Amino acid sequence: MTPVKCYPPKPEKVYFFGTCLIDLFYPEAGMDAIRLLEREGVEVLFPEDQTCCGQPAYTSGYHDEARAVAAAQLGLFPEPWPIVVPSGSCGGMMRKHYPQLFAGTDLEAQANDVAGRIHELTEFLVHVCHLQLEDRGEPEKVAMHTSCSARREMGLAETGPALLGQLGGVELVEQERAAECCGFGGTFSVRHPEISGAMVDDKAKAIEAAGAARFVTSDCGCMMNIGGRFEQQKKAVKGEHIASYLWRRTS
Protein backbone atom coordinates (compact mmCIF):
# COMPACT_ATOMS: atom_id res chain seq x y z
CA MET A 1 0.00 0.00 0.00
CA THR A 2 1.06 3.52 -0.75
CA PRO A 3 1.46 5.56 2.41
CA VAL A 4 -1.09 8.32 2.97
CA LYS A 5 -0.05 11.35 0.98
CA CYS A 6 -0.26 14.95 2.03
CA TYR A 7 -1.43 16.76 -1.07
CA PRO A 8 -0.03 20.19 -1.93
CA PRO A 9 -2.26 23.20 -2.65
CA LYS A 10 -3.07 23.70 -6.30
CA PRO A 11 0.20 24.75 -7.95
CA GLU A 12 0.80 27.37 -10.59
CA LYS A 13 2.40 24.82 -12.91
CA VAL A 14 2.69 21.10 -13.37
CA TYR A 15 4.82 18.84 -15.49
CA PHE A 16 2.91 16.44 -17.71
CA PHE A 17 4.34 13.01 -18.48
CA GLY A 18 2.20 11.76 -21.35
CA THR A 19 3.27 8.07 -21.41
CA CYS A 20 4.32 6.17 -24.52
CA LEU A 21 0.96 4.50 -25.16
CA ILE A 22 -0.80 7.85 -25.23
CA ASP A 23 1.97 9.35 -27.33
CA LEU A 24 1.65 6.62 -29.93
CA PHE A 25 -1.94 5.44 -29.89
CA TYR A 26 -4.15 7.79 -27.88
CA PRO A 27 -2.66 11.31 -28.09
CA GLU A 28 -6.10 12.95 -27.80
CA ALA A 29 -6.43 11.48 -24.30
CA GLY A 30 -3.20 13.27 -23.40
CA MET A 31 -4.42 16.51 -24.93
CA ASP A 32 -7.73 16.27 -23.07
CA ALA A 33 -5.86 15.79 -19.82
CA ILE A 34 -3.81 18.90 -20.59
CA ARG A 35 -6.99 20.83 -21.42
CA LEU A 36 -8.59 19.77 -18.12
CA LEU A 37 -5.55 20.93 -16.19
CA GLU A 38 -5.32 24.23 -18.08
CA ARG A 39 -9.02 24.89 -17.51
CA GLU A 40 -8.24 24.71 -13.79
CA GLY A 41 -5.75 27.49 -14.27
CA VAL A 42 -2.69 25.27 -14.05
CA GLU A 43 0.07 25.87 -16.57
CA VAL A 44 1.12 22.55 -18.10
CA LEU A 45 4.79 22.00 -18.88
CA PHE A 46 5.38 19.24 -21.40
CA PRO A 47 9.08 18.28 -21.45
CA GLU A 48 9.72 17.56 -25.10
CA ASP A 49 12.37 14.93 -24.49
CA GLN A 50 10.07 12.55 -22.60
CA THR A 51 9.74 9.06 -24.05
CA CYS A 52 8.70 6.12 -21.86
CA CYS A 53 8.85 5.44 -18.13
CA GLY A 54 10.74 2.18 -18.79
CA GLN A 55 8.11 -0.13 -17.36
CA PRO A 56 7.93 -2.64 -20.24
CA ALA A 57 11.61 -3.49 -19.76
CA TYR A 58 11.26 -3.39 -15.97
CA THR A 59 8.46 -5.95 -15.74
CA SER A 60 10.19 -8.14 -18.32
CA GLY A 61 13.22 -8.40 -16.06
CA TYR A 62 15.51 -6.15 -18.13
CA HIS A 63 16.33 -3.74 -15.34
CA ASP A 64 19.57 -2.36 -16.76
CA GLU A 65 17.66 -1.25 -19.85
CA ALA A 66 14.74 0.02 -17.76
CA ARG A 67 17.13 2.02 -15.58
CA ALA A 68 18.74 3.65 -18.59
CA VAL A 69 15.34 4.64 -19.99
CA ALA A 70 14.15 5.88 -16.60
CA ALA A 71 17.38 7.84 -16.11
CA ALA A 72 16.67 9.68 -19.35
CA GLN A 73 13.38 10.91 -17.84
CA LEU A 74 14.69 11.93 -14.42
CA GLY A 75 16.27 15.16 -15.61
CA LEU A 76 13.14 16.44 -17.36
CA PHE A 77 11.52 17.84 -14.24
CA PRO A 78 14.06 20.33 -12.79
CA GLU A 79 11.59 22.67 -11.06
CA PRO A 80 9.77 21.43 -7.95
CA TRP A 81 6.34 21.24 -9.68
CA PRO A 82 4.14 18.16 -9.36
CA ILE A 83 4.37 15.66 -12.20
CA VAL A 84 0.99 14.53 -13.54
CA VAL A 85 0.74 11.17 -15.32
CA PRO A 86 -2.50 10.11 -17.05
CA SER A 87 -1.93 6.44 -16.20
CA GLY A 88 -1.87 4.46 -12.95
CA SER A 89 0.50 1.99 -14.50
CA CYS A 90 3.23 4.44 -15.57
CA GLY A 91 2.50 6.52 -12.47
CA GLY A 92 3.01 3.46 -10.28
CA MET A 93 6.25 2.67 -12.07
CA MET A 94 7.60 6.15 -11.44
CA ARG A 95 6.32 6.53 -7.91
CA LYS A 96 6.97 3.06 -6.54
CA HIS A 97 9.62 1.44 -8.68
CA TYR A 98 11.94 4.34 -9.54
CA PRO A 99 13.22 4.48 -5.95
CA GLN A 100 13.87 0.71 -6.04
CA LEU A 101 15.48 0.89 -9.46
CA PHE A 102 17.93 3.64 -8.47
CA ALA A 103 18.59 2.59 -4.87
CA GLY A 104 22.31 2.73 -4.23
CA THR A 105 23.09 4.58 -7.48
CA ASP A 106 24.19 8.18 -8.06
CA LEU A 107 20.68 9.02 -9.19
CA GLU A 108 18.98 7.75 -6.04
CA ALA A 109 18.17 11.17 -4.60
CA GLN A 110 16.90 12.47 -7.93
CA ALA A 111 14.75 9.34 -8.43
CA ASN A 112 13.25 9.73 -4.96
CA ASP A 113 12.54 13.39 -5.64
CA VAL A 114 10.78 12.62 -8.92
CA ALA A 115 8.89 9.70 -7.39
CA GLY A 116 7.62 11.92 -4.58
CA ARG A 117 6.16 14.40 -7.08
CA ILE A 118 4.28 11.84 -9.21
CA HIS A 119 0.50 12.19 -9.27
CA GLU A 120 -1.85 10.10 -11.34
CA LEU A 121 -4.21 12.37 -13.28
CA THR A 122 -7.48 11.55 -11.49
CA GLU A 123 -5.69 11.74 -8.15
CA PHE A 124 -4.42 15.19 -9.04
CA LEU A 125 -7.79 16.40 -10.31
CA VAL A 126 -9.60 15.20 -7.18
CA HIS A 127 -7.12 15.83 -4.39
CA VAL A 128 -5.12 18.80 -5.64
CA CYS A 129 -7.40 20.65 -8.08
CA HIS A 130 -10.60 19.76 -6.17
CA LEU A 131 -12.14 19.66 -9.62
CA GLN A 132 -15.83 20.59 -9.90
CA LEU A 133 -17.57 19.35 -13.03
CA GLU A 134 -20.76 20.42 -14.75
CA ASP A 135 -22.12 17.75 -17.03
CA ARG A 136 -23.35 18.83 -20.46
CA GLY A 137 -23.64 15.36 -21.97
CA GLU A 138 -26.56 13.08 -22.75
CA PRO A 139 -27.70 10.53 -20.14
CA GLU A 140 -25.56 7.43 -20.39
CA LYS A 141 -24.73 4.23 -18.51
CA VAL A 142 -21.01 3.96 -17.93
CA ALA A 143 -18.75 1.38 -16.28
CA MET A 144 -15.47 2.47 -14.73
CA HIS A 145 -12.49 0.18 -15.08
CA THR A 146 -9.82 1.22 -12.62
CA SER A 147 -6.47 -0.31 -13.59
CA CYS A 148 -4.80 -2.66 -11.15
CA SER A 149 -1.83 -0.30 -10.83
CA ALA A 150 -4.06 2.66 -10.02
CA ARG A 151 -6.11 0.56 -7.62
CA ARG A 152 -3.41 -1.39 -5.81
CA GLU A 153 -0.03 0.14 -6.52
CA MET A 154 -1.19 3.75 -6.16
CA GLY A 155 -4.19 3.12 -3.90
CA LEU A 156 -6.54 5.09 -6.15
CA ALA A 157 -9.67 2.96 -6.43
CA GLU A 158 -11.92 5.92 -5.61
CA THR A 159 -10.72 8.91 -7.62
CA GLY A 160 -12.00 7.87 -11.06
CA PRO A 161 -15.48 6.96 -9.82
CA ALA A 162 -15.52 10.17 -7.74
CA LEU A 163 -15.02 12.26 -10.88
CA LEU A 164 -17.61 10.32 -12.89
CA GLY A 165 -19.99 10.65 -9.95
CA GLN A 166 -20.01 14.42 -10.48
CA LEU A 167 -21.48 14.00 -13.95
CA GLY A 168 -25.24 14.35 -13.52
CA GLY A 169 -26.15 12.55 -16.74
CA VAL A 170 -23.92 9.57 -16.09
CA GLU A 171 -25.18 6.47 -14.40
CA LEU A 172 -22.18 4.58 -13.08
CA VAL A 173 -23.08 0.89 -13.34
CA GLU A 174 -21.56 -1.76 -11.09
CA GLN A 175 -19.89 -4.59 -12.98
CA GLU A 176 -19.28 -8.02 -11.49
CA ARG A 177 -15.73 -8.45 -10.13
CA ALA A 178 -14.85 -4.83 -10.85
CA ALA A 179 -11.53 -5.18 -9.04
CA GLU A 180 -10.34 -8.09 -11.16
CA CYS A 181 -7.58 -7.56 -13.70
CA CYS A 182 -8.60 -7.18 -17.37
CA GLY A 183 -5.71 -9.42 -18.41
CA PHE A 184 -3.49 -6.86 -20.11
CA GLY A 185 -0.39 -6.91 -17.92
CA GLY A 186 1.91 -5.53 -20.63
CA THR A 187 4.00 -8.34 -22.06
CA PHE A 188 1.84 -10.86 -20.15
CA SER A 189 -0.75 -10.45 -22.91
CA VAL A 190 1.71 -11.71 -25.51
CA ARG A 191 3.60 -14.21 -23.36
CA HIS A 192 0.43 -15.90 -22.11
CA PRO A 193 -2.09 -14.91 -24.78
CA GLU A 194 -4.67 -17.57 -24.04
CA ILE A 195 -4.89 -16.75 -20.33
CA SER A 196 -4.91 -13.04 -21.08
CA GLY A 197 -7.58 -13.67 -23.71
CA ALA A 198 -9.75 -15.54 -21.21
CA MET A 199 -9.38 -12.69 -18.74
CA VAL A 200 -10.31 -9.92 -21.18
CA ASP A 201 -13.22 -11.99 -22.43
CA ASP A 202 -14.61 -12.20 -18.89
CA LYS A 203 -13.97 -8.49 -18.28
CA ALA A 204 -15.74 -7.43 -21.48
CA LYS A 205 -18.69 -9.69 -20.71
CA ALA A 206 -18.98 -8.28 -17.18
CA ILE A 207 -19.02 -4.70 -18.49
CA GLU A 208 -21.59 -5.55 -21.14
CA ALA A 209 -23.74 -7.47 -18.66
CA ALA A 210 -23.78 -4.43 -16.37
CA GLY A 211 -25.63 -2.60 -19.13
CA ALA A 212 -22.87 -0.08 -19.83
CA ALA A 213 -22.89 1.69 -23.18
CA ARG A 214 -19.32 2.72 -22.54
CA PHE A 215 -16.44 1.94 -20.25
CA VAL A 216 -14.08 4.56 -18.98
CA THR A 217 -10.57 3.90 -17.70
CA SER A 218 -7.56 5.89 -16.60
CA ASP A 219 -5.10 3.51 -18.25
CA CYS A 220 -4.59 3.10 -21.97
CA GLY A 221 -3.24 -0.44 -21.64
CA CYS A 222 -6.57 -1.61 -20.22
CA MET A 223 -8.42 0.48 -22.82
CA MET A 224 -6.48 -1.07 -25.69
CA ASN A 225 -7.17 -4.51 -24.24
CA ILE A 226 -10.85 -4.28 -23.29
CA GLY A 227 -11.77 -1.90 -26.13
CA GLY A 228 -9.94 -4.12 -28.61
CA ARG A 229 -11.91 -7.10 -27.32
CA PHE A 230 -15.24 -5.32 -27.75
CA GLU A 231 -14.24 -4.20 -31.23
CA GLN A 232 -13.12 -7.68 -32.25
CA GLN A 233 -16.40 -9.10 -30.99
CA LYS A 234 -18.23 -6.35 -32.91
CA LYS A 235 -19.91 -5.10 -29.76
CA ALA A 236 -21.30 -1.60 -29.45
CA VAL A 237 -19.59 -0.89 -26.11
CA LYS A 238 -16.88 1.75 -26.52
CA GLY A 239 -13.92 2.56 -24.35
CA GLU A 240 -12.64 6.01 -23.55
CA HIS A 241 -9.86 7.45 -21.42
CA ILE A 242 -11.32 9.25 -18.45
CA ALA A 243 -9.60 12.51 -19.44
CA SER A 244 -11.33 12.53 -22.81
CA TYR A 245 -14.63 11.54 -21.31
CA LEU A 246 -14.56 14.28 -18.69
CA TRP A 247 -13.44 16.91 -21.18
CA ARG A 248 -15.98 15.89 -23.80
CA ARG A 249 -18.91 16.04 -21.39
CA THR A 250 -17.96 19.26 -19.68
CA SER A 251 -16.53 21.46 -22.44
Partner 1 sequence: MSVQTFTPREFHRQAHDALGNPQIRANFRKAMDGLMTKRRDVFSDWDLETLRELGANIRLRALAKLPDLLEQLEANCEANGIRVHWAEDGDEACRIIRGICDSHGARSVIKGKSMVSEEMHLNAHLEEAGIEALESDLGEYLVQLNEQTPSHIIMPAIHLNTDEISEILHDKTGTERSRDVDYMTAAARAQLRERFMAADVGVSGVNFAVAETGTLCLVENEGNGRMTTTVPPVHIAVTGIEKVVEHLRDVPPLYALLTRSATGQHVTTYFNMISSPRKEGEHDGPKEVHLVLVDSGRSRIYQDDELLDTLRCIRCGACMNHCPVYTRVGGHTYGTTYPGPIGSILSPHLMGLEETKDLPTASSLCGACGEVCPVKIPIPDLLVRLRRESVGEGRGNVAGAGVKRTRKEAAAWKGFEWMATHPGVWRSGTALAGKLQALMPAKLAPWTDYRTAPKPARASLHALVKQHRRRQQTDGSEGENRS
What residues between 158 and 217 interact with partner 1 by CB under 8 A?
Answer: 179-181, 183-201
Count other C-beta atoms under 10 Å from residue 224's C-beta: 18
* Residue span binding partner 1 (CB under 8 A) among the ranges 64-72, 135-143, 167-175, 205-213: 64-72
- Report, in Å, the least distance between residue 91 CB and partner 1: 14
- State which of positions 81-100 bind partner 1 (CB under 8 A): 100
Query: Which lies closer to partner 1 via its Cβ, residue 165 or residue 193?
Result: 193
Contact string 126-165 vs partner 1 (x = CB under 8 A):
----------------------xx-xxx------------
- Report, in Å, the least distance between residue 151 CB and partner 1: 8
- State which of positions 40-59 bind partner 1 (CB under 8 A): 46, 48-52, 54, 56-59
| 113 lies in the site for partner 1, by CB under 8 A | no
- Report, in Å, the least distance between residue 29 CB and partner 1: 9
> How many residues contact partner 1, by CB under 8 A?
75
| 72 lies in the site for partner 1, by CB under 8 A | yes
- Report, in Å, the least distance between residue 50 CB and partner 1: 7
Nearest 5°: CA angle at 4, between 57 and 119? 45
Cα separation, 194 vs 123, whole angstroms: 33
Q: Which of 171, 167, 180, 182 is CA-nearest to residue 142? A: 171
User: What one-character DSSP code corresponds to residue 40?
Assistant: T
- Report, in Å, the least distance between residue 173 CB and partner 1: 20
E strand or H helix at 214 = strand 214-217
| 13 lies in the site for partner 1, by CB under 8 A | no
- Report, in Å, the least distance between residue 59 CB and partner 1: 6
Helix, strand, coil shares of the chain, percent, nearest 5, are 50, 10, 40
| Cβ-based neighbours of 227, under 8 Å, separated by 6 or more | 215, 238, 239
Cα separation, 94 vs 101, whole angstroms: 10
E strand or H helix at 204 = helix 193-209
Question: Which of residues 36, 69, 115, 237 is near partner 1 by CB under 8 A?
Answer: 69
- State which of positions 15-44 bind partner 1 (CB under 8 A): 18, 20, 22-28, 30-32, 34-35, 38-39
Cα separation, 152 vs 89, whole angstroms: 10
**How far apart, in Å, are the Cα atoms of 104 and each of 27, 60, 202?**
36, 22, 42
